[in-house]
Amino acid sequence: MKVAAAEALAELAREDVPDSVREAYGDQPLQFGSEYILPKPMDPRVLFELAPAVAEAAMESGAARVEIERGPYVEELEARLGKSREMTRIVRNKAKSDPKRIALAEGHNEKIIRAAYQLEERGLAEPVLIGDEAEIDRTAANLGLAFDPEVVDPDDGTNGEYAEALYEQRKRKGVTRREATELVGDSNYFASVMVQRGDVAGMLTGLTNHYPSALRPPLQVIGTADDVEYAAGVYMLTFKNRVVFLADATVNQDPDEETLAEVTQHAADIARRFDVEPRAALLSYSDFGSVDNQGTRKPRQAARKLREDPAIDFPVDGEMQADTAVVEDLLEGTFEFSDLEKPANVLVLPNLEAGNIAYKLLQRLGGAEAVGPMLAGMDRPVHVLQREDDVRDIVNLGAVATVDAQEEE
């Protein structure tokens, strides 16, 4: 068992170190070598890598009194590290069943390269890095990552083919052939054309760009699904004993009732992707008509539209205040007439400003762990990262993109 523990530690020391561990040790460049031969004590992976190795050795030697399966045991250990890991594990397990080719538009970025390594190593996706191959290989080698990533360079021979495809799609929307050639030199446009043509199943972008700038190319090239008018950004926020899906925090600035209704459906679809049955609340500063003006009417009318739609198979109500939506005593007492019998787990904010403020306050002050934003409603799987995202965030969205692609088949 001691040998198994030593071997597990040695193997773990050779893997890419999580950002949380690097930050805990002053952003040291931790990678296997003379200065780093053992994982740090703060590394959470030690729990679910070392313990299973020792348990398996105990069973093989006959010292163990009970038999366990490694998979369920690892899941049990990971669950101890928080609700977020329990939820993301659901999507990761789905992704592993059939990994898809996912383009990572900012392939030169160190975090993106590390995420690509983890996506491939864990079987969550088949990452395709967009960028200069020599630069990417050099960065991967400097990081000590023993993998040979697939790289596609926007400046190689496919540029002309992709430029022509972009020109044909956008020529009546103000894009000349020369401008199309210039645009596909941008990795965001290049990756978007890859997705639109079916050369990859989905894409991630946005780590080095402002969200609106990163979203524009996939919106122009890929667009929303045929039955969708509005895309939406959805966050999964996990607390100690609760998970909620919050929308829209990234895309629609001032949605009307039609947009709010569609955003609600997008958020409910994403909740089900994590095996959560949605209960949706459209939020406001008013409870069920206690204030009547243009602002409060929009979520009220959106909720009514959804309740009257026979295709909607989940409970939804509103408009209501945030505490009404999440406090069971209020729903069962003061507002016992509500269509929500239990607290909502899908929270739809009235506008982009409220959504962005809400998720950041819940994350920074409320202790929520955030996964996302997950972009819903696109014709193909596309997710736009936030500039402060770490490698774990990128890996999670890569797995989500794979699951999106699986569901489209």
Instruction: Kindly state the average pLDDT of the residues 43-70.
Output: 71
Examine the domain organization and report whether 182 and 255 are in the same domain: no
CATH of the domain at 291: 3.40.50.10750
Residue that terminates a domain, selected from 221, 248, 265: 221
Q: List CB contacts of 114: < 8 A, sequence separation 6 or more.
A: 16, 143, 145, 391
Q: What is the pLDDT of residues 199-231, one digit of tens each?
A: 999 999 999 888 888 889 999 999 888 888 889
Instruction: Give me the number of domains the chain comprises.
Output: 3
Report the pLDDT value the prediction gives residue 241, as an integer from 0 to 100. Answer: 80
CB atoms within 10 A of CB 90: 16
Phi, psi (deg, nearest 5) at residue 53: -65, -45
Q: 34 is in which domain, residue-wise?
A: 2-81
Which position has the token pair 């703060």? 42
Confidence band, pLDDT 50/70/90 cuts, at residue 29:
low
Examine the domain organization and report whether 212 and 274 are in the same domain: no
Asked if residue 233 has pLDDT above 80, the reply is: yes
CB atoms within 10 A of CB 206: 27
Percentage of residues of the chain with pLDDT beyond 70: 85
Q: Is residue 387 part of a domain?
A: no
Q: Is residue 24 part of a domain?
A: yes
Examine the domain organization and report whether 178 and 143 are in the same domain: yes
Strands 101-104 and 126-130: parallel
Q: Is residue 397 part of a domain?
A: no
Examine the domain organization and report whether 367 and 249 are in the same domain: yes
Examine the domain organization and report whether 214 and 256 are in the same domain: no
Examine the domain organization and report whether 33 and 161 are in the same domain: no
Residue that terminates a domain, selected from 81, 115, 150: 81
Instruction: Please say whether the dihedral angle defined by the alpha carbons of residues 297, 287, 251 and 402, taken in this order, is positive or negative.
Output: negative
Please indicate whether residue 353 or residue 83 has the higher confidence score (pLDDT): 353
Per-position DSSP letters for 234-279, written without gaps between them = EEEEE-SS-EEEEE-SSS-SS--HHHHHHHHHHHHHHHHHTT----
Phi, psi (deg, nearest 5) at residue 366: -90, -5
Q: Is residue 96 part of a domain?
A: no
CATH of the domain at 177: 3.40.50.10950
Examine the domain organization and report whether 262 and 322 are in the same domain: yes
Rounded-to-integer distance, Cα 115 and Cα 119, Å = 6
Q: What is the pLDDT of residues 388-399, one digit of tens each?
A: 888 888 999 999
Examine the domain organization and report whether 217 and 278 are in the same domain: no
Rounded-to-integer distance, Cα 151 and Cα 319, Å = 48
- Whether 210 contacts 320, CB under 8 Å: no
Q: Is residue 261 part of a domain?
A: yes
Q: List CB contacts of 221: < 8 A, sequence separation 6 or more.
A: 166, 169, 170, 189, 192, 193, 195, 196
Q: Is residue 273 part of a domain?
A: yes
Asked if residue 267 has pLDDT above 90, the reply is: yes
Percentage of residues of the chain with pLDDT beyond 90: 41
Examine the domain organization and report whether 40 and 160 are in the same domain: no
Average pLDDT, the chain: 85
Examine the domain organization and report whether 191 and 244 are in the same domain: no
Asked if residue 43 has pLDDT above 80, the reply is: no
Strands 369-376 and 232-238: antiparallel
Q: Is residue 94 part of a domain?
A: no
Q: List CB contacts of 194: < 8 A, sequence separation 6 or more.
A: 103, 128, 130, 152, 162, 200, 203
Rounded-to-integer distance, Cα 268 and Cα 234, Å = 10
For the whole model, what pTM was predicted? 0.82
Please indicate whether residue 8 or residue 160 has the higher confidence score (pLDDT): 160
Confidence band, pLDDT 50/70/90 cuts, at residue 37:
low
Cis link prior to 329 (omega < 30° from 0)? Answer: no
> Which of 142-151, 260-269, 372-381 bottoms out in mean pLDDT, i.e. has the lowest?
142-151
Examine the domain organization and report whether 24 and 108 are in the same domain: no
Rounded-to-integer distance, Cα 276 and Cα 279, Å = 9
Instruction: Kindly state the average pLDDT of the residues 327-356.
Output: 91
Residue that terminates a domain, selected from 81, 111, 133: 81
Q: Is 224 exposed, middle or buried (0-12, 13-18, 19+ CB in 10 A)?
A: middle
Q: Is residue 388 part of a domain?
A: no
> Which of 26-40, 198-212, 331-345 bottoms out in mean pLDDT, i.e. has the lowest?
26-40
Q: List CB contacts of 123: < 8 A, sequence separation 6 or more.
A: 95, 96, 99
Q: List CB contacts of 315: < 8 A, sequence separation 6 or more.
A: 279, 280, 339, 340, 341
Q: What is the pLDDT of residues 146-188, one digit of tens each?
A: 788 889 988 775 678 888 889 888 888 888 988 888 888 888 9
| Chain CA centroid to CA 391, Å | 11
Examine the domain organization and report whether 128 and 12 are in the same domain: no
